[in-house]
Amino acid sequence: MSTETDPNVILRVAAKGDGVTADGRHVAFSAPLDQLNEDGGLIKGPHHVEPPCQHFKECGGCSLQQLDDESYAQFVIDRVAYALEGQGLSVGTLHPPQISKPKSRIRASLRAAMMGKTFKLGFSGAGSHRIVDLKQCEIMRPELFAAIGPLRDFLKTVARRKHDMNVEMSLADQGVDLCIKNYEPENLEQREGLAAFAQTNGLARLSVDNGYGPETQWEPDPVTVTFNGIAVALPHNSFLQPTHDGKAALVAAMLETVGDTKLVADLFAGLGTFTFALGENRKVYAAEGSRDAIGALKMAANLSGRQIFTEHRDLFRRPLSPEELNRFGAVILDPPRAGARDQIAQIAQSGVPKVCYISCNPASFARDAKQLCDAGYKLDALWPVGQFLWSTHVELVSSFSKK
């Protein structure tokens, strides 16, 4: 019996991370070419490696650390290929995937709470509300992980029983930007303690949010992130690409798609990751629904002297019309996970020669891509990107041209 038909051999890894046998059984924490024995146990195959983190299986941060580099790269490719196949689409060129390295993640969302007599700070447990008290992390940048121990010690002194706190961490130009949510200092002593903690640990910014929005407690210098040499103010709760190398891969693929086009629209522009990457010699229209983000982009654009026109615009409620779109030689869009159904419908009716669609959800991308292809666009190339190492989240850049 061949490997392809043997019902006890894991053939591939499905979208949610389980290994799948030829007869359709799903097996958690398995790898391609693993085998099931008569008792249902797993015989590890050539692609099954020892997970590098002590918290693997209990932590919800990573679910695929048992895969070697080859099979994880194949998983990233398959996530994209199967999504396209589900919509009956094909792509001219499917590029090899760009996989981010370990310890490269520049943002993380953690939970903290007093559990019995023990205070815990870490990711949620896999498939549960438990908190895994992080003693090791193989995905976070060392600068972020280094803040966890001191933060645990500090929060332990202010924690209340049965009261969860959430911690948002990002790496900015000036260092770690940290926001503690569902917490408010109760007195002057606690506020002074926050400032002392931030200063001692060299934080770029420390904020608290009791449910009414972030309130800055410590920010010795204005916090920024830099895109293509341009420093942009970092508002609270801003979206950042999760790794620097992954961002570079997305930008490189976008630039290849846009080519030498001189007039470009950047939709769902955020803080300007792609806007500023387009350089000085183009005219760029940038639209974004977050008022804080587009305000930061506009200020940085004005200071840089770039030819960038910004608009605060909700592209779900008011997408650009075909008449507006037809002014541009290329359109870039990087929507949230839900995709951009309404904006894609308008692009489909336009004559825009080039479309670069950046997505963090292969399923919603494939749905939107079908709408473009049905309207006469050709899916020329696609670049899979695995910024969320060892997880099932996959991103991509795609290049469309009008036939």
Catalytic residues: 360
List Cβ neighbours of 10 (8 Å cut-off, separation of 6 or more): 19, 20, 21, 27, 30, 31, 32, 33, 34, 35, 36, 45
Distances (CA, A) of 194 to 5, 58, 191, 266, 300: 60, 31, 5, 39, 30
List Cβ neighbours of 393 (8 Å cut-off, separation of 6 or more): 360, 387
Q: Which residues make beta-bridge pairs with 169?
A: 108, 178
DSSP conformation letters of 304-356: HT--EEEEE--TTTSPPPHHHHTT-SEEEE---TT--HHHHHHHHTS--SEEE
Q: Nearest-CA neighbor of 340 among 372, 377, 292, 304?
A: 372
**3-class state of residue 88 by DSSP:** coil
Length of the chain: 403
Q: Nearest-CA neighbor of 388 among 120, 154, 157, 105?
A: 105
**3-class state of residue 275 by DSSP:** helix
User: Using alpha carbons only, what angle is made at residue 251 by residues 263 and 299, rounded to the nearest 5 degrees?
Assistant: 60
Distances (CA, A) of 365 to 48, 101, 251, 329, 379: 30, 25, 18, 22, 12
Find out whether 381 and 399 touch, Cβ atoms under 8 Å.
yes
Give the span between the Cα atoms of 338 and 242, in whole angstroms: 18
Give the span between the Cα atoms of 98 and 53, in whole angstroms: 22
Q: Nearest-CA neighbor of 174 among 108, 121, 234?
A: 234
Which contiguous run of DSSP H or E holds residue 38? none
Provide the token pair at 293.
């983000």
